[in-house]
Each structure stands twice: as C-alpha cells, then as structure tokens.
Amino acid sequence: MPSKPPQPIGEIIRQQRTEVLMVGLREMAKRLDIAPAHMTDIEKGRRSPSEALLLRIAIQYKMDEATLRAGWGKAESDVGEIASSNATNAAKAPQLLRAAKDLDAEQWDALISQARTMADKVARKTTKPPKS
C-alpha cells in the first residue's frame, strides 16, 4: 500500500496558526514583520521564507526549526560553512550528498551514526597523550 505524500509545510503552518495558536493571518504577519500577502504566499507554497524569517516562524509558531527546514528544503545555515571549511570537505561533501540523496530516514540515521563513530575515533587519536 503506497504511503500518502507528506502534507505541504505551508498547510502545516496554516493549521498551526489557525487551529493551535488561534491567530489570524494579518496578526501573524504583523508578528513576523512581513506583509499579509507575503504570509499568504508562504502558506500557499508560492514562496519560501528567508533564513531570518524561517527562524522567526519557528519561534512564533512554536514549531521545531528542523521540521520547518525540511518542509522548505532548507539546510541548516552552517551546512555550507562546514562543507567548505577545508579542501577535503569541499570535495567530498557534495559526493556524499549525491550518493545518499535517495536514502530513507532510517538509512540516514545509520550513515550519521557511522560518521559519528568515525569522528570519535579521529578525536581519540588526536587527544591521546604521547607515549614516553
């Protein structure tokens, strides 16, 4: 049985605003310091928020930032910085992402766990006191 597609993020935040927060569109737009038309476009999926607006939405809507980022397809702001922090990362991060692009959540968790294990081993090697 095929799974139903995830609900668009615009619909999710609209439901949060109307059903949980019980706030009108104009009031929320005012709280976010944007025009009501901009808010409408975000909820209808015609626009995605800037980095700063995404963070304000997370706060005002009392929603998890990661959920919002995933819904709008926006990586955390430090991803680009990490990926370009040295020559190896700049070369390998895109290769890793291309290779892993079709993984499901469980497979991503396994990949992340393996990467953490490898990073821990590197950290232990670099912090060992020299042998006398």
CA 96 to chain centre: 18
* Chain segment 9-32, per-residue pLDDT in tens: 899 999 999 999 999 999 999 999
Q: What is the pLDDT of residue 90?
A: 86
Q: What's the pTM?
A: 0.64
* Chain segment 51-109, per-residue pLDDT in tens: 899 999 999 999 998 888 888 888 877 788 888 888 998 888 889 989 998 989 899 99
The domain spans of the chain are: 9-72, 78-127
Q: What is the pLDDT of residue 84?
A: 85
Q: Say which residue the tokens 């975000």 belong to.
A: 42
Backbone angles phi, psi at 69, to 5 degrees: -60, -45
Q: What is the pLDDT of residue 131?
A: 66
Say if CB 119 and CB 111 are below 8 A apart.
Answer: no
Backbone angles phi, psi at 21, to 5 degrees: -80, -20
Homologous superfamily of 9-72 in CATH? Answer: lambda repressor-like DNA-binding domains (1.10.260.40)
